[in-house]
Amino acid sequence: MNAIYLDHAATTPLHPKVIEAMTDEMAQTFGNPSSIHTFGRKAHRNLENVRQLIAASLKVNPHEIIFNSGGTEGDNTAIIETALAKQAQGKHLITTAIEHPAVLKTMQYLETLGFEVTYLPVDEKGTLAVEVVAQALREDTTLVSIMYGNNEIGNLMPIKEIGALLKEHPAVFHTDAVQAFGSEQIFPHELGIDLLSTSAHKINGPKGVGFLYKSDAVSLPAFLHGGEQEEKRRAGTENLAGITGMATAVSLLTDSEKQQRREHYQRYEQLIIKKLNDAQIAYRINGNPDNKLAHILNLQFEGVPSDLLLMHLDLRGIAVSTGSACTAGTVDPSHVLEALYGKDHPAIKESIRISFGLGNDEEQIRYFAEQLIDIIHKLRA
């Protein structure tokens, strides 16, 4: 059996059609989209065609799409610029305790500038109650930033309900949709979302490129200053090859393709669970299995240290993770699992994240489950 990659929540392999599109773009279009000569006009035309394609996938206006370097830049731009622009109206911000570090650390930075941040709790299944959001809202709340789907346990947040709640409040609503964009139907205008950030490398596109959706209803100062690219909203020459690759990845995510992927991933999850049950392996599913992204499965195996399990799987050519790739290589425990269970719960050091994607099939999943069971038996023995 060849090496098996089950860490698609960290990053995804490039789709062959993405590689082809990027190669063609690099070979045929080298002009600067801001130049007014023939080469520049060709590049600009390609850029705007891509913008229309991506906007159509969200049912938004093309000029509401701002190309950038990915999810972290999108989160920073949305949060910092909104907070600074609206600080005269208030300096209270709301987020959750299980956000990606790109949101949490940005909020912590703003706290050093005098902003007050409310970190909303979740229950033991990682569920965020809309009532908790409503209770946290104040007159001086200017921004609510809540992820669409969690990157460690997969939980889907009540975005539609929060959007409806905020229609009666002037706070700007931002969502980090990096994990959800590849599988969920997301239409910001219908959901009441003002700002949405995502990243191409989570949907079989290239690393280092993404976009921020900014509603026309929101005034957002530029985060980067310099040239007048992206309608003066994000300075810097656009990465046209990367953006083209991202657009190709988006174009492959048709409604039927998303549905098919969800069905495949649910089947993979059921296969793993059945294998564990048949082998009488004790485990816990972290998060809410009935309301989550289909491609993420987070499991605790009591008495089995996750770092040891990871190492043994890796030695057998299987890649999974213990949580967010942005904290990989550190000894920091998962802040997501701490939010669910408390800081001293054994699940924090006994859990792994399995995430499915392009290239996985049932044969791989069956082999993975068999190897996982064998390793757990040996480690528990």
Where would I find the H helices in the chain?
Answer: 16-28, 38-58, 71-85, 101-112, 130-136, 159-166, 188-191, 229-232, 240-252, 255-278, 306-315, 335-341, 362-380
- Contact between 212 and 79 under an 8 Å Cβ cutoff? The reply is no
Single out the catalytic residue among 326, 358, 373, 379.
326
Buried b (16+ CB within 10 A) or exposed e, 272-292: bbebbeeeebebebbbbeeeb
Residues 6+ apart with CB under 8 A from 351: 286, 298, 299, 300, 301, 306, 322, 323, 334, 337
Nearest Cα neighbor of 237 from 246, 245, 228 is 228
- Contact between 212 and 195 under an 8 Å Cβ cutoff? The reply is yes
Burial of 136 (0-12, 13-18, 19+ CB in 10 A): middle
Pairing of strands 92-96, 116-120: parallel
Neighbours of 109 (CB within 10 A): 14
The question of whether 243 is a catalytic residue gets the answer no
Nearest Cα neighbor of 62 from 252, 232, 211, 163 is 211
Neighbours of 220 (CB within 10 A): 18
Neighbours of 47 (CB within 10 A): 20
Reduced to 3 states, what is the DSSP secondary structure of residue 298? strand
Reduced to 3 states, what is the DSSP secondary structure of residue 99? coil
Q: Residues with catalytic annotation?
A: 326
